[in-house]
Chain A
């Protein structure tokens, strides 16, 4: 187990290091001058522009030697200093992001977990009967091939505009103040449903197909045939197949995280849902480089944490990782 985690943690540390380096590298080595671009968008008076140019050059630390810029970047990072947002001046980027994180958690955690469990459940059923297979599999392929934003747009149009059941923008009604009242919570849930549903549905399709194919593959494996030959009941064989099929699905979840994050970004954009993804769009449109970099870092940290959580559950599910063998996921 120690070897398994040791390897994983090394990869995560290297990944974080690389990600931060990329985050630092890109604004400095891209063609064009980001400070200039940023100022040309804001259209201020000449002397104000000069002062702001000086400020941002110093804030980016562009007047220092390269290696020192790099060390300063890490130093600031460890102090939780991600710079100041231009778009929401003068709020620090870290605070802007912390305000958005709760929305991402309530949106992503349920949609990822529920779609994974429901997909596995229905996929396992689909492998069992011809009738279910003929309905769930095509549906699964259609759902998993649907671009996240398009499903979001369709749901918003049909359920939000045409039928007028759900609101299509924001995280809660504009005439409410955030608080712990039932009215507010109901409003939050009401606004949460459509973005949740579009993330859930796309994910569900993929997991259902994955599980169906996995189970069929496992049922063809030698141990299944052997169990059948011994006269084991079908239920028991299915149960073993399901447990073995779980593992690739768990590793699959880790592999899919990047795609899910991308899906969440565009879904938040469609529904103007104030999470990191929506902020990212605002940051891009306003050329707010500090905010873009901050969003990037938060996404990386979130994905690393999720990966670690998946690793822990793999250790719980797969006994091979506990006994020192590397098992499926290594």
Chain B
């Protein structure tokens, strides 16, 4: 009964929170566009389908590239790639962060020392540099592999934050009680500690999602993105390489940037909105 009441309370504040509504609205718009968009185009993303360097028209909605490729087709497929990288890369980063953070925070002692040291080391290494060097040696790359690499390098700050939270929950009475009643550590973590951190874990995932999207755009832009698919970063890469700037072909490089900026910005705003919904202290703001 109390659970139900709590839920409806959160829903009440969620529906009244403008940041949350704007953020989720923008995200929803791009998700729908990425799913519905491909239905409106019969072109292949890299097919030479029309006259070169055309500005947007009724036939080519976002214009064409220097090679006569349809920008709209590339754009909607690139959006799909962006969401895929965000979900897989951000999800994996969160998952590893959760595993490391829970283990280190709950076990403490030597396990904590070692995991903490590892976290600090990976935290210092500029992960993009590692991604670069791995990607540079791989001849064929897919979006899936890219997401997995990004996830494997993005977890440290999440692990650190989750560890700190677990640490503070570990010595609470209800956890002590569970321990006294002979519950196994794994079960305590997942039935006693994790449910109390659900809102926090959701916020971590959102930030990881945004980070993965930006990391992928960076990799793609330097030409180390997927070799067999289209992505928003790759579009900007081609636009710069093939003189879109000098020829003034703004329709080629503006849409992918606007999309990334809007998606990541919407994620951040959603994050702040959710924080206000979950945290009663911030609600008056």
Contacts and interface: CB of A to CB of B under 8 A. Distances in A.
Interface string B249-270: 0100110110011101101110
Given A142-B261, A261-B129, A280-B132, A148 B218 contact: yes
Contact of B281 (A160, A220, A285): A220
A147 B245 contact: no
Contacts of B222: 265-266, 269, 280-281, 284
B236 interface: yes
A157 B246 CA distance: 8
Nearest to B248: A161
Contacts of A269: 221-222, 240
Contacts of B13: none
Q: Mostly helix, strand, loop or mixed at chain B's interface?
A: helix
Q: Is the interface of A mostly helix, strand, loop or mixed?
A: helix
B224 interface: yes
Interface in B213-253: 214-215, 217-218, 221-224, 233, 236, 239-240, 245-246, 248, 250, 253
Contacts, number: 150
Interface in B104-141: 117, 120-121, 123-130, 132-134, 136-139
A141 B265 contact: yes
B137 A34 contact: yes
Given A145-B210, A149-B221, A161 B129 contact: no
B153 to A, nearest CB: 9
A187 interface: no
A107 interface: no
A155 to B, nearest CB: 11
Nearest to A146: B261
A113 interface: no
A109 interface: no
Interface residues of B, number: 50
Contacts of B254: 154
B70 to A, nearest CB: 21
B79 to A, nearest CB: 14
A292 B210 CA distance: 27
- Tell me which of A141, A142, A148 has the highest count of chain B C-beta atoms within 10 A of its own C-beta: A141
Given A262-B126, A280-B222, A300-B126, A31 B257 contact: no
Interface in A149-203: 149-150, 153-154, 156-157, 160-162, 168
